[in-house]
Amino acid sequence: MTMKTKLPLPTGTKSLFVSEDVVQKLGYPFGCIDVFCNVSFTQNDIDYIKNKIQSNKLYGTVHSNKGFTLRSMLTIVEFYTPFMNDTKCPKNVRRFLGAYIGEFYRGIQHIKAENEIAPTNFMINRWMETCR
């Protein structure tokens, strides 16, 4: 019986993170990575973003909306969710998209709350006026 005395060498290569300048060149939203989450991109992440997300024919249309309306926020969520759920999506891109989509979900909930609060407040104010 022989005893193993050496550990196997690691089989993967170490991922090197790209510089901030390279990330900035990706443009919005990927260039604002530090705003949405604390993650860094590797060259594999950059390749996925450029080849899968930014090359999609809807990418420019989705980001052409200048305001953050309920419709534009829902469009962004619907556009990015399939990429986040893609099994080939790199871990860092998935984490970024999760944080980015999460911000839009919070905005959507805020808008929905405002839309529901205004009629309710109107009815409460009318009720209070009639009860005085």
Give pLDDT tens digits for 110-132. Answer: 777 777 666 666 776 676 677 65
How would DSSP label each residue in the chain? Answer: -----SPPPP-SPPPPBPPHHHHHTT-TTGGGHHHH-S---BHHHHHHIIIIITTSTTHHHHTT--S--HHHHHHHHHHHHHHHH-TTS-HHHHHHHHHHHHHHHHHHHHHHHHHHHHHHHHHHHHHHHHH-
Give pLDDT tens digits for 10-50. Answer: 444 556 777 788 888 888 888 877 766 778 899 999 999 99
pLDDT at 84 over 80: yes
Mean model confidence pLDDT for the chain:
80
